[in-house]
């Protein structure tokens, strides 16, 4: 992570983890994926099953939740490593 990425992530993390996961996971991943799979069903089968639409929304929202949660944790780790002082490179090699 460089200085610009750290600055951008610091601004993003100010919204909080819950809002981040809801916006970048459920809304940005879950709903578009559910819409895409519903569109694929309509194009291939010529019909849309309402019960499957609801199932897709729930399943894709859960998938989006996990994606955003994983991304949050990964970026938090990168930010932590960015702020840690660099350890000396002069260790003896075996």
Q: How many CA within 13 A on the CB side of residue 65?
A: 7
pLDDT given for residue 84 in this prediction: 85
56-78 per-position pLDDT tens digit: 999 999 999 999 999 999 999 99
For the question of whether the overall pTM of this predicted structure is more than 0.85, the answer is no
Nearest-angstrom CA–CA distance, 81 and 29: 27
Q: Residue 31 burial (CB < 10 Å; 0-12/13-18/19+)?
A: middle
- What average pLDDT does this structure show over 89-93? 50
Task: Answer yes or no: is pLDDT of 1 > 90.
Answer: no
């Amino acid at each position: 992570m460089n200085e610009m990425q750290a600055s951008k992530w610091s601004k993003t993390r100010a919204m909080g983890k819950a809002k981040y996961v809801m916006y970048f996971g459920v809304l940005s991943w879950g709903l578009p994926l559910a819409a895409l799979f519903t569109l694929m069903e309509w194009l291939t089968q010529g019909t849309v099953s309402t019960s499957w639409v609801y199932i897709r929304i729930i399943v894709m929202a859960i998938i989006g939740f996990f994606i955003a949660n994983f991304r949050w944790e990964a970026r938090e780790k990168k930010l932590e490593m960015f702020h840690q002082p660099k350890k000396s490179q002069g260790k003896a090699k075996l």
